[in-house]
A and B are shown apart, each in its own frame.
Chain A
Amino acid sequence: MENRLRVLRAERGWSQSDLAQQLDVSRQSVNAIETGRYDPSLPLAFRIARLFGAPIEAIFSDSGA
C-alpha cells in the first residue's frame, strides 16, 4: 500500500513527532507508515484521514491496483 502521509505532513510543516503526538502513536509508527513498512489498521487510517480532513483513499492507495 502506498500513501501520501509524508507529503501531507510536510505541507503542514509538521515533524514526525508532531504527527505522532496528534495521532497518539510513537514517532516510529509514523515513520514505519510513511516508508511503507507498516500498513495501519482501518481505525488508525480513519484517524489519519480525519486529522488531515481528507478521505482515506486520498491518502492511501493500493499499489497493486
Chain B
Amino acid sequence: MTFHISRSRAERAYLLRLAGSMGAFILVLLIVRQWFKSSEPPAGAWLYAAAILPALPILGAIGAVGRYLVEETDEYQRALLIRAVLWATGAALAAATVRDFLIEYAHVSPFESGFVFFVFCIALGVAQVAIRLVERT
C-alpha cells in the first residue's frame, strides 16, 4: 500500500517557516541559556531583551500558522486547519488556566518556559490527526 501526500504551495511554505522557527528557537535558547550561566550574565535592559529573545521564534511559529491560513487557497484545507487551531487554542487556554491556579493555590513550582505553546503544538498535532480521521469516515 502506498500513501501519497500532496501538499499545496502554501502548506509547503508553512512547514518550511515552522521548521525554521523551531530551529531558531533551539539555537536562541541554547545561546541565551549559556549567556545567563556565563560569568557576565545580562543585566539592566539586556536582561529583559535576553529573556524575551527565545519567545521571538515562538511568535514567528504562531505567525506562520496565521500566514498559512491567509495564503492557503484551498478553502476546505483552510477550514480543517481552522478547526484544529480552535481545538489547540482551547487546550492551551485550559492548560494555562489550570497552571495558574495550581501555582496560585497549590504553590507548585513554576512550569517550564514555553509550556503553553508546547501544549498548543501537541494539541494542534492531535487535533489535525483526529479531524482527518473523522473526515475519512
Contact = CB atoms under 8 A, between A and B. Distances in A.
Given A32-B135, A37-B135, A26 B77 contact: yes
B6 interface: yes
A11 interface: no
B109 to A, nearest CB: 45
Interface size band for B: under 10
Nearest to B72: A26
B69 to A, nearest CB: 15
A26 B6 contact: yes
B73 A29 contact: no
Contacts of B76: 25-26, 28-29, 32-33, 38, 40
B112 interface: no
Interface in B70-126: 73-77, 79
B4 to A, nearest CB: 10
A38 B76 CA distance: 7
Interface in B1-52: 6, 8
B8 A26 contact: yes
B74 A40 contact: no
A29 B6 contact: no
B75 A44 contact: yes
Interface of B: 6, 8, 73-77, 79, 135
10 tightest Cβ-Cβ pairs between the two chains A and B? A29-B76, A25-B74, A26-B74, A38-B76, A32-B76, A41-B75, A29-B74, A26-B77, A44-B75, A37-B135
